[in-house]
Structure 1
Amino acid sequence: MSTKFRAALAISSMLALTVVPAARAGAPRTSTVRDDARARADSIVARMTLAEKIALVHGLFPPFAVGKTKNELIMAAGHIDGIPRLGVPLVRESDASLGVANQVEQRKGDVATALPSALATAASFDPAIARAGGAMIGSEARAKRFNVLLAGGVNLTRDPWNGRNFEYLGEDPLLAGRLAGQHIVGVQSNRIVSTIKHFALNAQETGRMVADARIGEADLRMSDLLAFQIAIETGKPASVMCAYNKVNGDWACENDFLLNRVLKRDWRYPGWVMSDWGGVHSTAKAANAGLDQQSGQELDKAPYFSAPLEAAVTSGAVSAARLDDMVARYLTGLIQTGAYDTPMPAKPAAIPYAKNALVAQRTAEAGIVLLKNEGRLLPLARSAKRIVLIGGRADVGVLSGGGSSQVRSVGGAPIEIPLTSGAAMSFARYTYHASSPLKAIKAALPQAQVTFVDGTDVAAAAAAARNADIAIVFATQWTTEAQDVADLSLPDRQDTLIAAVAAAQPKTVAVLETGGPVTMPWLAQVPAVLQAWYPGQRGGEAIANLLTGKVNPSGRLPITFPASATQAPRPAPVGIDTLTSLEAQAAANPANASNYQLKSFPIDYVEGADVGYRWYEKKRRAPLFPFGHGLSYTNFAYRNFAVTGGKTLSVSFEVINTGKRAGADVPQIYVARAGSDTPMRLAAFTRVTLKPGETRRITLTAEPRILADYDTRLPGWRITGGQYRVALARDATDRTLTKMVALDAATMQP
């Protein structure tokens, strides 16, 4: 979502080892459950008046909708009245990527459980973790009387500086698709709707309302669209939310290729397409291109799907059959999830916040990544008597990302600073969750003297580090929806702080609370680095447990950390210089500020399908830390690696915990056709927890579309017969264990 609260504020001050493969030619693509839901929806639509149909295909934005409905308005993302005479329920929508959102406390006093950032979930490489988080959020949403959650973010990370990376699941389509799908399953297990968003190529925040994402069809199908396709197959979300940006010249919310051809024809998607808030630009074109519902109509230039749509249907510009399909898709989504037949509570229900907090903590503990541990500095030795924590507000809490995903967490916000400039100013705040690492580490190490200095005085911080046995520097990088980061350096001279502390104290640990990758000019001098992401409302406890060894680190990077910004396909947001210039002109001429607006501009995705780690391999660039990287306090070995080919690619091997601690490993399978210049692709993965000395045999089956290339001439997926390289790896650069296998030629439907 997006600009929902900008306008408001201005006015008001299972752990499966294989993925379901693509259907082969002639295979059924819809289930009996979905067919039954559509048949029921059609029967309801047949009894509606034209006015009733129109009423269901546009929604209200509650802060602007007072007096527009006789029903109670909850101040959140959206509201759509029902039709009592036909049993059509009232729908209330909430933002919900990381918890039931309440960004600028539009609902006074309403709190919710805050998960860590989605990148932390992705770093777990664990579909069960994703599903548990979704189930928890969905249960709280139902208790708060919401039956549609705007969750399911699956946009691939194409650029490390994207301000919204923390809300998504990384750079790989298989990992992102599988985990997003399970998150959606969890949400919808509560008999409510989850969306999947933002369809498609919403890959940067700078100029997101006007940017034109340009990419070839085959490359798009093999990257961003594949992530959506896998997530939709796995999670069966009742609604798809289209994006703000253009894709190859057409707005995503009126893009016939994306909505009609790919989503509804090729994937046979039965649910409804809702717009993002402020993302609609027309009536007939949008409806005919596949948009089924205008969301938060008050944030668009016009209520395009209200009276204008009724006029378009009357004139024939939009057919009556198309309107019926729009309404039937909406009802189908509500019916198949159970939202249609499960009444919402009349009043908010009790929520087991203490139990739910454990879900957030387990997610953080599974997703925090130990990037470096030279000399086994971690876990913290019990013999350490003096430990100093420096910076990052670690005395009071942990950082949260900003924007529509912002959760007002249980326990309150010890730090909350309104923004004074920037595109996110009116609907985001610089916010911390009340989970103090200082307090948690003190509780975990009662025998030690644990102190804190804020780090604003670099010399004083270095002196405190010198006088301690161990120094732990907490560094933060705040990112938010609607704005990209200026560069990949830590802000506010934190790189200088870390370097000074490391120079004074050889036993220095850096804990990074960031929205994504950052550069680390001090890395050679710092023996231990922990990537904590935005760790959620129990982040302090999770960090303490990993630092002290109560929990063994097991996270793996779902995103490449570049050694420098110039390694990535684009070193900075496209259009950022123009935007900065326009903002300066608007500030100098406030009376004519509306004249200085960013106009549509192209973003050419030159990397095509080679997103993230594939780009680095293709260009032979060594990143700072590769995709899939992560360390443990124990050691794992792989033995008896075997590969079978033919019609499917299957890999089996033994994983052995050769260390002295229980821990979790994440074996990864990468594949590429022999003799091609195609980078290796993640084709399978799993997460396995082992006791010391324990051995387990694992069998993984490769996702067939990862083995294939998309052929627009078929159209569909084509596996070229022949030899393939298969790597059993610890990260995307590991080629220690590699075998060859022969695969049969095959084709699959789009």
Structure 2
Amino acid sequence: MPRPLAIALAASCAFAGVGGGTVHAQALPAIPGAATAQSRAEAVVAKMTLDQKIALVHGLFPPMAQGKTQNELIPSAGHIDGIPELGVPLVRETDASLGVANQVEQRKGDVATALPSGLATAATFDPDIAHEGGMMIGAEARAKRFNVMLAGGVNLTRDPWNGRNFEYLGEDPLLAGDMAGAHIAGIQSNRITSTIKHYALNSQETGRTVVDARIGEAALRESDLLAFEIAIEKGQPGSVMCAYNKVNGDYACENHHLLTDVLRTDWGYKGWVMSDWGAVHSTVKAANAGLDQESGQELDKSVFFGAALKQAVEAGTVPETRLDQMVTRYLTGLIETGAYDTPVPEHAQPIPYGVHADVAQRAAEAGIVLLKNEGGILPLADTAKRIVLIGGHADVGVLSGGGSSQVRSVGGAPIEIPLKSGAAASFARVTYHASSPLKALREAAPNADIRYIDGSDPAAAARAARDADIAIVFATQWTTEAEDAPNLSLPRDQDALIAAVAEAQPHTVAVLETGGPVLMPWIGQVPAIVQAWYPGQRGGQAIANILTGKVNPSGRLPITFPESAAQAPRPSPVGLDRLNALEAQAAANPADASDYQLKSFPVDYVEGSDVGYRWYEKKDETPLFSFGYGLSYTQFAYRNPVVTGGKTLSVSFDVVNTGERAGSDVPQIYVAKAGSGTPMRLAAFRRVTLQPGETRHVTLTAEPRIVADYDTDLPGWRIAGGEYRVALARNATDRKMVFTTQLDPATMKP
């Protein structure tokens, strides 16, 4: 990372990392290789009593665990006592991928730097940005005395209304795997452990603890499992967190195929598998299937890996060799990541929040996507002297997503609304970060008269828009863990607000702060649309810089925006109607509310491995905006392409900035076997930053497992020899430059 910001960040991470002083890399203990880590772990386990082993394979949920340990309990996600006499460290676990979480302010007054949403980071198409974000939040976790971070969310977007889409990294396995791997590596550069989660197919929040995700083996390998496989290879996370849901009939945390056949046998993973909080359902089956540690034991129906596991070991239904393996994997993950040998500080350390906020702002600016810009309405011209901002609480801050990833950011929460009902009510609030787009725009355009109205009255908003030179409507959609969005429409009649403003003011910009795709019935009336996602700690400044042209937009969609909900594989959240009916019955009969619990139900993933943009191509559907799409204030050309086949597929070409502004482009290549009828797949991408007139020669080399198909008879990956179609493209539907080449047949291990 040669950029000055990356150098400053590395210095800040070293400062926050150990004891509050600047620490040079050579002063830290070396991290052992995998073989050394495992042998060290085995030697420690050999010295343990049965009770000591059992103590390490189940952890506390601190808010409900008072009096269960002699050590300090920091209000957070998890706690596992160490064994000081054997050198085993105490482990403190914190959520999540977007920063050091403090969801409902369990730790009074404790703030942290909030990254933009996972989708915003994915929209950068830049693993370096993901790595920087990981470095930053990992440094803050260590400074706050945490040594395990429950990060690395990589579940693919299969349904556009998944309430947790904002946490994840989009619909494509290559993009999600590359970005997650870089993020995890950044976190673990602080000598703490990161998870990767939620393994696997945790693709909806409605009934997430009972839903049975059904999919064929080849399709699963080519989609969600491939994202995990790539991310594990690139990030080397110390732990894998298994999911709540069932996969093909078995709960993910007791699924032998996922936990042992795939993760251990095929991928050779050495770290430990921890459960999600409340995701354990058995002792013997879970342990023998490959689960190594029960997390947040108070949230399970009983402590499955405490006394019950000890009894199972003594009875022989769980071999003691399996228990030894569980503990060895736990210690191996801690040793491999450096968490074992690099104790966290005894007291919280100072954090350079200003430097860290720059990291969050950079990610937001690079991930904001310009979706539409008719007539060059953006960037805002100096001639626009009267600007009105409407709605979205743009006067005080920017929206963030809810759930375990919620960060209480520096500056506090100008808006925080508790939930009165629903599955997320106990741990989520509608929360805004204190980064005002209004204030930031006034600073960025000091000569303009910029005003704000709240948008609650569409008629008043239309009048204000008519009197301005330009109107900017901020529209929001709050989504959260534990609940799916009921539909893809903007809530609270915001579509009508945007339409009313656009009718009154032809120069209207819509800025969308959403957890994922939304429908846009007003799109024909609005000349400029900006997808800002949940933009994080400095979201207001990032949005202002994009709107005024101080930063050239360069984000690309990591997720398809459908034109209608009917285009998706499932037209609405599966199980939501059942859940709503049960909640209505429980409300009518509160004394018997416990009787109205959602029972297990299946979701058949009919799209198989054709997730997202592949589904749209397969069904010949034209989305509103396609995966990989995004505009710029400059223009780029691709010239002199050369496609090479044989053993490796690559495309070499020149990228030229033909416009008058510096900017970043993301060339992409998509591949499919000629004549196969299968949708094309993203096989490589690269973010390229160019000055006006500058040319850069780029070579994109296809990921071979994307070119291949998974063959269950091998088993493994098979590239069929012959002719392949290759598109050098700007997005998943761009087919202006399509070539053919010959590839040699090849096979690869699972």
TM tier, smaller: over 0.9
Quick check: 1:616 aligned with 2:613? no
**What displacement does 1:537 show?**
1.2
Match of 1:95 in 2: 95
For residues 334 and 642 of structure 1, the distance between their equivalents in structure 2, rounded to whole angstroms, comes to 45
Kindly indicate whether the alpha-carbon contact (under 8 Å) linking 1:163 and 1:484 is maintained by their aligned counterparts in 2: yes
Kindly indicate whether the alpha-carbon contact (under 8 Å) linking 2:120 and 2:534 is maintained by their aligned counterparts in 1: yes
Kindly indicate whether the alpha-carbon contact (under 8 Å) linking 1:668 and 1:731 is maintained by their aligned counterparts in 2: yes
Quick check: 1:474 aligned with 2:474? yes
For residues 603 and 625 of structure 1, the distance between their equivalents in structure 2, rounded to whole angstroms, comes to 26
Structure 1 residues 503-552: Cα deviation after superposition (integer angstroms, max 9, x where no partner): 00000000000000000000011000000000001000000000000000
**What displacement does 1:397 show?**
0.3
Identity %: 77
1:53-452 equivalent positions in 2, closer than 5 A: 53-452=53-452
Query: Which amino acid is 1:655 matched to?
Result: V
Query: Which amino acid is 1:200 matched to?
Result: A
Match of 1:732 in 2: 732
For residues 79 and 626 of structure 1, the distance between their equivalents in structure 2, rounded to whole angstroms, comes to 43
For residues 700 and 325 of structure 2, the distance between their equivalents in structure 1, rounded to whole angstroms, comes to 40
Query: Which amino acid is 2:122 matched to?
Result: A
Structure 1 residues 449-470: Cα deviation after superposition (integer angstroms, max 9, x where no partner): 0000100000000000000000
Kindly indicate whether the alpha-carbon contact (under 8 Å) linking 1:151 and 1:184 is maintained by their aligned counterparts in 2: yes
Match of 1:519 in 2: 519
**What displacement does 1:650 show?**
1.1
**What displacement does 1:291 show?**
0.0
Query: Which amino acid is 2:661 matched to?
Result: R
Query: Which amino acid is 1:698 matched to?
Result: V
For residues 614 and 550 of structure 2, the distance between their equivalents in structure 1, rounded to whole angstroms, comes to 35
Match of 1:547 in 2: 547
Kindly indicate whether the alpha-carbon contact (under 8 Å) linking 1:213 and 1:604 is maintained by their aligned counterparts in 2: yes
Match of 1:38 in 2: 38
Query: Which amino acid is 1:322 matched to?
Result: R
Match of 1:723 in 2: 723
Query: Hey, which bits of structure 1, 4+ residues long, moved more than 4 A?
Result: none
**What displacement does 1:32 show?**
7.7
Kindly indicate whether the alpha-carbon contact (under 8 Å) linking 2:394 and 2:436 is maintained by their aligned counterparts in 1: yes
Query: Which amino acid is 1:724 matched to?
Result: Y
Query: Which amino acid is 1:336 matched to?
Result: E
Match of 1:533 in 2: 533
Match of 1:465 in 2: 465
Aligned CA distance change for structure 1 residues 202 and 195 (closer, same or farther; 3 Å)? same
Structure 1 residues 5-37: Cα deviation after superposition (integer angstroms, max 9, x where no partner): xxxxxxxxx59xxxxxxxxxxxxxxx9810000
Match of 2:49 in 1: 49
Alignment partner of 1:699: what SS? strand
**What displacement does 1:677 show?**
1.2
TM-score by length of 1: 0.96
List alignment gaps of at least 5 residues for structure 1.
Answer: 1-13, 16-30
Quick check: 1:653 aligned with 2:653? yes
Query: Which amino acid is 1:209 matched to?
Result: T
Query: Which amino acid is 2:496 matched to?
Result: T
For residues 584 and 95 of structure 2, the distance between their equivalents in structure 1, rounded to whole angstroms, comes to 32
Match of 2:495 in 1: 495
Quick check: 1:666 aligned with 2:666? yes
Query: Which amino acid is 1:236 matched to?
Result: Q
For residues 720 and 305 of structure 2, the distance between their equivalents in structure 1, rounded to whole angstroms, comes to 46
Kindly indicate whether the alpha-carbon contact (under 8 Å) linking 2:45 and 2:328 is maintained by their aligned counterparts in 1: yes
Query: Which amino acid is 2:88 matched to?
Result: V
For residues 716 and 612 of structure 2, the distance between their equivalents in structure 1, rounded to whole angstroms, comes to 24
Quick check: 1:571 aligned with 2:591? no
Query: Which amino acid is 1:64 matched to?
Result: M
Alignment partner of 2:33: what SS? helix
For residues 485 and 745 of structure 1, the distance between their equivalents in structure 2, rounded to whole angstroms, comes to 44
For residues 196 and 335 of structure 1, the distance between their equivalents in structure 2, rounded to whole angstroms, comes to 17
Structure 1 residues 293-348: Cα deviation after superposition (integer angstroms, max 9, x where no partner): 00000100011000000000000000011000000000000001110011111110
Match of 1:455 in 2: 455
Match of 1:25 in 2: none
**What displacement does 1:644 show?**
0.5
Query: Which amino acid is 2:41 matched to?
Result: A
Kindly indicate whether the alpha-carbon contact (under 8 Å) linking 1:396 and 1:435 is maintained by their aligned counterparts in 2: yes
Query: Which amino acid is 2:58 matched to?
Result: H
For residues 382 and 32 of structure 1, the distance between their equivalents in structure 2, rounded to whole angstroms, comes to 57
Alignment partner of 1:113: what SS? coil
Structure 1 residues 49-82: Cα deviation after superposition (integer angstroms, max 9, x where no partner): 0000000000001011111100000000000000
**What displacement does 1:142 show?**
0.1
Query: Which amino acid is 1:691 matched to?
Result: Q
Structure 1 residues 634-673: Cα deviation after superposition (integer angstroms, max 9, x where no partner): 0000000110000110110000000000000000000000
Query: Which amino acid is 1:117 matched to?
Result: S
Alignment partner of 1:625: what SS? coil
Structure 1 residues 695-716: Cα deviation after superposition (integer angstroms, max 9, x where no partner): 0000111000000000000000
Query: Which amino acid is 2:427 matched to?
Result: F
Structure 1 residues 207-236: Cα deviation after superposition (integer angstroms, max 9, x where no partner): 000000000000000000000000000000
Structure 1 residues 353-380: Cα deviation after superposition (integer angstroms, max 9, x where no partner): 0110000000000000000000000000
Kindly indicate whether the alpha-carbon contact (under 8 Å) linking 1:721 and 1:743 is maintained by their aligned counterparts in 2: yes
For residues 103 and 446 of structure 1, the distance between their equivalents in structure 2, rounded to whole angstroms, comes to 36
Query: Which amino acid is 1:555 matched to?
Result: G
Kindly indicate whether the alpha-carbon contact (under 8 Å) linking 2:32 and 2:335 is maintained by their aligned counterparts in 1: no
Alignment partner of 1:526: what SS? coil
For residues 486 and 294 of structure 2, the distance between their equivalents in structure 1, rounded to whole angstroms, comes to 33
Alignment partner of 2:524: what SS? helix
Kindly indicate whether the alpha-carbon contact (under 8 Å) linking 2:390 and 2:474 is maintained by their aligned counterparts in 1: yes
For residues 415 and 256 of structure 2, the distance between their equivalents in structure 1, rounded to whole angstroms, comes to 45
For residues 344 and 504 of structure 2, the distance between their equivalents in structure 1, rounded to whole angstroms, comes to 59
Match of 1:710 in 2: 710
Kindly indicate whether the alpha-carbon contact (under 8 Å) linking 1:653 and 1:698 is maintained by their aligned counterparts in 2: yes
Alignment partner of 1:474: what SS? strand
Alignment partner of 2:344: what SS? coil
Structure 1 residues 242-272: Cα deviation after superposition (integer angstroms, max 9, x where no partner): 0000000000000000000000110000000
Alignment partner of 1:524: what SS? coil
For residues 278 and 208 of structure 1, the distance between their equivalents in structure 2, rounded to whole angstroms, comes to 11
Alignment partner of 2:53: what SS? helix
List alignment gaps of at least 5 residues for structure 2.
Answer: 3-30
For residues 610 and 343 of structure 2, the distance between their equivalents in structure 1, rounded to whole angstroms, comes to 46
Kindly indicate whether the alpha-carbon contact (under 8 Å) linking 1:96 and 1:137 is maintained by their aligned counterparts in 2: no
Alignment partner of 2:519: what SS? coil
Match of 1:11 in 2: none
Query: Which amino acid is 1:407 matched to?
Result: V
Match of 2:587 in 1: 587
For residues 385 and 335 of structure 2, the distance between their equivalents in structure 1, rounded to whole angstroms, comes to 60
* Aligned CA-pair RMSD: 0.8
Match of 1:8 in 2: none
Structure 1 residues 560-580: Cα deviation after superposition (integer angstroms, max 9, x where no partner): 000000000001111111100
For residues 279 and 75 of structure 2, the distance between their equivalents in structure 1, rounded to whole angstroms, comes to 20
